[in-house]
Amino acid sequence: MTTANLIRPTRHGNAGICRGCWDQMHVPIPIRGVLALPFRAFGITRSKMNPNICTICERSFRTVKKQRHVTVDATILFADIRGFTALSERIDPVSLSEIVSVFQDRCAQAIWAHDGIVNKQMGDGLMAIFNFPIVSKDHAAAAVEAALDLQRLCKAALDDLRSMTGGPQGQAPGVGVGIHTGDVEIGEFSSFRSDFTAIGGAVNLAARLESRAAAGEILVSAETAARVPHLMDGAGERLLALKGFEQPVQVRVLAGT
């Protein structure tokens, strides 16, 4: 591998260097191949948030950004298994854990393929960030495309586990997704954990949308939809009264295939 090939980050796929460190600092930190071995000796490995970024991005935000938090235009995606509580009452813990593992794995696969990071995993749910630390000009489109892929991958995988869910219909669990784009505060907000996360109204809205999405649905905020009109063909419309928001919120509704 030539030096030029090493330091040229590639969109998607397996990058040879940390794309977060490159995009944020223009520093080529090897994360694959023989050049990565000395870094591993110092505990610098690929991040669990995305295999194309490293643990410097994940755990050393203030070192990378030279401040505790920054304002970033980003797209936030929340996903959750619908009916998980009822499901947990019908099947055994081993089968339930397999469903959660399949869900988390397929979601990560879709999110990573579009340069997002899985910032938080919350049992039967997760939160993803697009446009940090990997910079993506079309992050709204990336998030929507990831959601469509996520629904497709999860449906195929969870359908294979249909027999585990019990019930007279043997109905497989489904996934609800919420997406919103806007300014968020990204940084370290806890003295006990050093890995970064995103907070703010944009994060709250994405979470609220996810909570109202039915199985197989993707609820897209008007702000995100305005940036990706080419992905809204055939999308429905819905007006939602959301907790914490004074005015009804207009959303577009995509159905996963």
User: Would the pLDDT of 12 be above 70?
Assistant: no
Query: What are the residue ranges of CATH 3.30.70.1230 in the chain?
Result: 69-255
Answer whether 241's CB lies under 8 Å from 200's CB.
no
Mean pLDDT on 167-186: 83
pTM metric for this prediction: 0.91
Classify domain 69-255 at the CATH topology level: Alpha-Beta Plaits (3.30.70)
The per-residue pLDDT for range 74-125, each reduced to its tens digit, is 999 999 998 888 877 878 888 888 889 999 999 999 999 999 999 999 989 9
The per-residue pLDDT for range 155-166, each reduced to its tens digit, is 888 877 665 554
Would you say how long the chain is, in residues?
Answer: 257
The per-residue pLDDT for range 215-255, each reduced to its tens digit, is 999 999 999 999 999 999 999 999 999 998 989 999 999 98
